[in-house]
Amino acid sequence: MSLDVTLERRVEVYEANITHNLAAMAEGAGIYRHLWRPDEIGVETAGELIEPLRQGLLELESNPERFRAFDAENGWGTYDDFVPWVRRYLEACQLNPDAEIRISR
């Protein structure tokens, strides 16, 4: 199972997929609900994700060993997968702040 995120501005402007195995790492970085459940916290546009993702990425990068402890034992979902994924999603949000967020989990 995986998380699919899409940013739309009448047309799709960004799409990404990441394994649910990274949910605990996201929770540890304080961005689980922003990534997996934005609808539950009232987040509708990419611009609303910029600051939380920026803070989460800072947290992830400030303590790699802490977050590597969340790596999936089967190798499907690691710190080295997640950090670049968050970075790309943040960049997409910055480029498309008015885009609507679509999530499939």
Model confidence over 22-58: pLDDT tens digits?
999 999 999 999 999 999 999 999 999 999 999 999 9
Look at the block and give the residue holding tokens 């929770």. Answer: 27
Look at the block and give the residue holding tokens 């996201």. Answer: 26
pLDDT higher than threshold 90 for residue 15:
yes
**Cβ atoms of residues 57 and 89 within 8 Å:** no
Q: Given pLDDT bands bounded at 50, 70 and 90, which one contains residue 1?
A: confident
- Sorted by sequence, the CB contacts under 8 Å of residue 2 that are 6+ apart come out as 17, 18, 19, 20
Instruction: State which amino acid sits at residue 78.
Output: T
pTM above 0.75, yes or no: yes
- CA neighbor of 46 nearest in space, from 85, 87, 100: 100
**Cβ atoms of residues 21 and 72 within 8 Å:** yes
**Cβ atoms of residues 10 and 63 within 8 Å:** no
Model confidence over 53-79: pLDDT tens digits?
999 999 999 999 999 999 999 999 999
As a whole number, mean pLDDT of residues 14-25 equals: 98
